[in-house]
């Protein structure tokens, strides 16, 4: 019986030991969960503060966007009005310019200038044609001169040949 009691005591001690180990393990996990809970709570608080800050920032940005869009619309209207204003001035100045050009072209000096300008343009065209013809003639003369020099060399060569050879060539050339 003592042995049974010893075995029972040993079994209880091992159970106690297992329970202590389990208790230590649970305490470690509880401590770890407690640290995780504190960290998550801090993270939650930071997120909540960030959300509140972002909400206020968003409101400021929305207000700023509205103000900027109103300013943009005003600028667009001003630009459109200025554009119309400048276009009207340009049309007015163009019409005035055309009127002055009609009056200017009616003056005798203007008509004379236009006629002389026309004559000058025609003379420039004729000058270009003459220069082109001159250049073509120069080229033609230079090619003929080089041909005549070649012919002179050929004739000199023929004179140097004996008369009998020359007669044979002449006969062959003019049968």
Q: Which pLDDT does position 155 carry in this prediction?
A: 58
Quick check: pTM over 0.75? no
Mean pLDDT of 16-22: 93
Residue 171 has pLDDT above 50, yes or no: no
Q: What is the CA radius of gyration of the chain?
A: 58
Q: pLDDT of 39-70, one tens digit each? A: 999 999 999 999 998 888 889 999 999 999 99
Q: What is the mean pLDDT of residues 94-123?
A: 89
Length of the chain: 175
pLDDT tier, 3 (very low <50, low <70, confident <90, very high otherwise): confident
Q: Please report where in the chains the tokens 């220069």 appear, as a residue.
A: 131
Position 160 scores a pLDDT of 57
C-alpha distances (whole Å) from 116 to each of 105, 123, 128, 153, 169 are: 14, 10, 18, 54, 65
Mean pLDDT of the chain: 84
Residue 5's pLDDT is 85
pLDDT at 175 over 70: no
> Residue with structure tokens 């966007």?
65
Asked if residues 166 and 158 have their Cβ atoms less than 8 Å apart, the reply is: yes
């Amino acid at each position: 019986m003592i042995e049974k009691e010893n075995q029972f005591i040993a079994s209880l001690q091992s159970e106690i030991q297992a329970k202590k180990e389990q208790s230590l393990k649970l305490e470690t996990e509880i401590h770890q969960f407690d640290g995780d809970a504190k960290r998550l709570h801090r993270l939650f608080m930071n997120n909540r503060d960030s959300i509140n800050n972002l909400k206020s920032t968003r409101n400021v940005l929305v207000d700023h966007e509205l103000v900027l869009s109103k300013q943009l619309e005003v600028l667009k209207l001003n630009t459109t009005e200025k554009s119309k204003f400048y276009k009207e001035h340009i049309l007015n100045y163009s019409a005035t310019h055309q009127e002055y050009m009609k009056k200017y072209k009616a003056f005798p000096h203007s008509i004379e200038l236009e006629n002389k300008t026309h004559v000058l343009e025609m003379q420039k065209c004729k000058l270009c044609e003459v220069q082109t013809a001159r250049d073509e003639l120069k080229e033609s003369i230079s090619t003929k001169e080089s041909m005549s020099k070649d012919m002179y060399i050929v004739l000199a060569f023929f004179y140097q040949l004996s008369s009998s050879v020359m007669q044979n060539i002449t006969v062959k050339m003019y049968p």
